[in-house]
Structure 1
């Protein structure tokens, strides 16, 4: 049976021909990678996170991908926003935090991508470095202007990420934030060469990982997507 993978989306003002209206949107590269890995796709646009709605959404899918996007609201981890942060998107934050907490509770396979890793960490009680150039002195992880940066990642031996990806790889980065205090229930599974957390395993889940980079931007390497779909098909 083909695994149905739910992908979180934005709700954005969108121009489509004559129409200029709010719409559920997500870059096609995400869905292409899921389909190329043998899965089917269902969009999960932001909506009020009523418990019944969250549970019903998860009932209909076999695995969850928390996709990339705007910064998580700093107020959700008890901090004032950095001047470089994106304007908060409370609709998406609330929906995705509720989704991932419920997915973990029911042992649903989860893959977090970029913002998805940050949502996961905040949902479980962690915090974020709000602007990496303040810490690193460079913008090596986010060039801006829709240009992805190539960066090395070193995996931690014995972790799920290491088992899938080997000792190290070069990844596509586009983020100015990262995990600061790691949430309970997560294990660091990869770091950058300067120590910035680049991936985590979700403890206790049959399959649960999140990465700070953008694997959908490397469509010739589908290992993360394929592993999610294999877990979701079992």
Structure 2
């Protein structure tokens, strides 16, 4: 499934977007479906890119998939399986989706090898960290003592984040801003080659990046529910630099 911008041209970047494969009901149909809220991809289209969905499949196909895109966007979703970072599951963890985890970890590793721009959101930040050998806090209330980061009922809570200066994130995001949160897990031990680029008011890691890559950045919050466009524009600009390679 491909969504085209009305202004697409030969120099328009193509962004590969990860997605769910979940049971879905639509009208009389009840079946497995490739599914992703449009809120995730709307700001990428608005920033001038074409989006193509990359649902879970054989991880050995990651290189083939990325050879046809200019950027990789790791979207949100269910918790990363704790087995992927050698931990037993917390009682509040989601049912694991090992096929999606394996596919996206393969995509991250291949993107890093090729230098393809990467943007992660929420689960995408956690997945990036795990793919690099890092670990996660499996339930944020156990760390901070409250549930402000995920109140439930799909209601986003705006909390303050502080972006570290001299980071990639600082070039595309204000240093201080309240952002929409909805995550009950968070990054614990950093993965190889990653650095912290933002923390919350409670000290949680809220963004990570790889300074050795042209653009490899992931945030725990949900910028698709914010009116700030510079993050998306920066990602799409980085992907545009790869068009025609």
TM-score (norm 2): 0.93
Tell me, which stretches of 5 or more residues in structure 1 are unaligned?
A: none
1:27 equivalent in alignment to 2:62 = no
Q: Distance in 2 between matches of 1:202 and 1:45?
A: 25
Q: How does 1:22-171 map to 2 (within 5 A)?
A: 22-50=32-60, 53-171=61-179
Cα distance per residue 1:142-178 (max 9 Å; x no partner): 0011111111000111111112112111111110110
1:221 maps to what in 2?
Answer: 228
Cα distance per residue 1:179-215 (max 9 Å; x no partner): 1111120010000011100001113111110000011
SS of 1:9's equivalent? Answer: strand
Q: Distance in 1 between matches of 2:202 and 2:41?
A: 32
Q: Distance in 2 between matches of 1:72 and 1:46?
A: 14
Any conservation in 1 of the 2:22–2:33 contact (CA below 8 Å)?
A: yes
Any conservation in 1 of the 2:18–2:75 contact (CA below 8 Å)?
A: yes
1:3 maps to what in 2?
Answer: 13
Q: Distance in 2 between matches of 1:100 and 1:203?
A: 15
Tell me, which stretches of 5 or more residues in structure 2 are unaligned?
A: 1-10
Q: Distance in 2 between matches of 1:57 and 1:67?
A: 16
SS of 1:203's equivalent? Answer: coil
Q: Distance in 1 between matches of 2:211 and 2:132?
A: 12
TM-score (norm 1): 0.97
1:204 equivalent in alignment to 2:212 = yes
Q: Distance in 2 between matches of 1:175 and 1:139?
A: 9
Q: Distance in 2 between matches of 1:105 and 1:22?
A: 32
Alpha-carbon offset, residue 31 of structure 1? 1.8
Runs of 4+ with >2 A deviation:
none
SS of 2:59's equivalent? Answer: coil
Alpha-carbon offset, residue 60 of structure 1? 1.0
Superposition RMSD in Å:
0.8
The size of the alignment, in residue pairs, is: 231
